[in-house]
Amino acid sequence: MQGYFVTFFTQQNRTYDDMPLARWIIEEAQKMGVGGATLFSGQEGFGHDGRFHSDNYFDLEDQPLQVGMALTSKEYDMLMARLKENGIRIFYTKSEIEFGFTSEC
């Protein structure tokens, strides 16, 4: 199957609708029928604003997070529309990929 690998970059303390934004994205993808998503947590990094983010004891709420998922073109369009209709501004990357399973179940 052809599609995209999409990664969203956020922080632990960023929320939408009283929920961590990373979790909201994963739940929306699941509602849309996306086959899977993975939450990656980072130890440290910095964002577009130059602000440092870390998972150390003093900055646990500001821990950098990534949500990654393989999407068909239709799923990608639906998820991006959902983000837009909810006014969510988030940095992402999108790469063209081929994906599937190595054998039948």
At residue 63, the pLDDT reads: 79
| Tens-place pLDDT, residues 5-28 | 999 999 888 999 999 999 999 999
Q: What is the pTM of this model?
A: 0.83
Q: Order of strands across the sheet with 64-71?
A: 38-41, 64-71, 2-11, 91-98
At residue 20, the pLDDT reads: 95
Residue 46: which residues within 8 A CB-CB, separation 6 or more?
52, 53
At residue 104, the pLDDT reads: 85
| Tens-place pLDDT, residues 25-80 | 999 999 999 999 999 986 666 666 666 555 555 555 577 899 999 999 999 999 99
Contact 21, 89 (CB under 8 A): no
Distance CA 61, CA 76 (A): 29
Could you give the domains of the chain? 2-64+79-96 (3.30.70)
At residue 13, the pLDDT reads: 87
Tokens of residue 6, six digits: 């999409």
Distance CA 71, CA 85 (A): 19
Distance CA 37, CA 6 (A): 10
